[in-house]
Amino acid sequence: MRLYLIRHGQSVSNAEWDASGLRQVRVEDPVLTDLGRRQAADLAAVIGARRGTSEGPVDGLFGISRLYSSLMLRAVETGAILGPALGAPWVAWTDTHEVGGMYVEDETGQTFLSRPGSGRAYFASRYPELALPADLSDEGWWLRPFETDSERPARARRVWDALGNRHAGDSIALITHLGFYNQIMAIALGLPPPALSQVWFELDNCAITILETGVRVRVISANLKAVRSGSQ
């Protein structure tokens, strides 16, 4: 399996964090900024590029056969831009959400208040090309408490194992989030799981890390910036 881990484009919360450094400015489900949409468009131009051969054009250089994304809006909006360029099925995968799930923090930054996220009708009306989970209801996709540190490694393991079982010989892409990306990287490289505040591996908005599995995991490229407009 060759796995392209792609961080979503710059979100409103990313931009506010860059400007203020305050965690309390975050919202539970931010959308992309204008820069984030440009980053996704630039990435789509790269990974959806076509090359010619003596026998005519062939599909994109990356050969991605399936695109996964979480149901967080910043990942979905990124997928809506990348999907048409890839020409591959685009599938929502609830388990690939950011660490913690859908939540906001109170004024102290010590209490995390759960939020439901968007539901089936929302996604179906706006993103008809996105294959939705069968169990997604109109009430939202995150109907549970805040995800604790101890729950995250098991979720990352589920995703990693499922990818290997489904796509042993495929090239696939996953639009993900920085915290969950670190959890996946820890699983892939056999490292202890990072806590919420730990970021061992940086991944810029719309940058790519390429992992290839076989006898062992090979990191082909980490934090590969494929955008022209810059990443934040």
Tokens 């968007």: give the residue: 118
pTM of the full predicted structure? Answer: 0.89
CA distance linking residue 106 with residue 14, whole number of Å: 19
Residue 63's pLDDT band (boundaries 50, 70, 90)? confident
CA distance linking residue 100 with residue 79, whole number of Å: 21
Is the model more confident about 26 or about 27? 27
* Residue 105: per-residue pLDDT: 83
Are the C-beta atoms of 149 and 195 separated by less than 8 Å? Answer: yes
Is the model more confident about 213 or about 37? 37
Residue 221's pLDDT band (boundaries 50, 70, 90)? low
* Residue 19: per-residue pLDDT: 77
Q: Is residue 60 scored above 60 in pLDDT? A: no
* Residue 22: per-residue pLDDT: 65
Q: Which fold has domain 2-225?
A: Rossmann fold (3.40.50)
When pLDDT is averaged across residues 101-111 and rounded to a whole number, the result is: 80
Give bridge partners of residue 52 from the DSSP assignment: 57
DSSP secondary structure code for residue 132 in this structure:
P
Which range, of 51-65, 106-120, 123-137, 141-155, averages the lowest pLDDT?
Answer: 51-65
Q: Is residue 62 scored above 50 in pLDDT? A: yes
Q: Is residue 48 scored above 90 in pLDDT? A: no
Are the C-beta atoms of 64 and 48 separated by less than 8 Å? Answer: no
Give bridge partners of residue 53 from the DSSP assignment: 56
pLDDT tens for 3-20 read: 999 999 999 999 987 777
pLDDT tens for 183-193 read: 999 999 999 88
When pLDDT is averaged across residues 27-48 and rounded to a whole number, the result is: 92
At a CB cut-off of 8 Å and minimum separation 6, what does 6 contact? Answer: 43, 78, 82, 173, 174, 175, 176, 206, 207, 208
* Residue 17: per-residue pLDDT: 74
When pLDDT is averaged across residues 97-115 and rounded to a whole number, the result is: 86
* Residue 55: per-residue pLDDT: 44
CA distance linking residue 78 with residue 189, whole number of Å: 27
Residue 196's pLDDT band (boundaries 50, 70, 90)? low
At a CB cut-off of 8 Å and minimum separation 6, what does 18 contact? Answer: 232
* Residue 49: per-residue pLDDT: 65
Strands 90-92 and 66-69: parallel
Burial (CB < 10 A; 0-12, 13-18, 19+), residue 169, is: exposed
Are the C-beta atoms of 89 and 82 separated by less than 8 Å? Answer: no
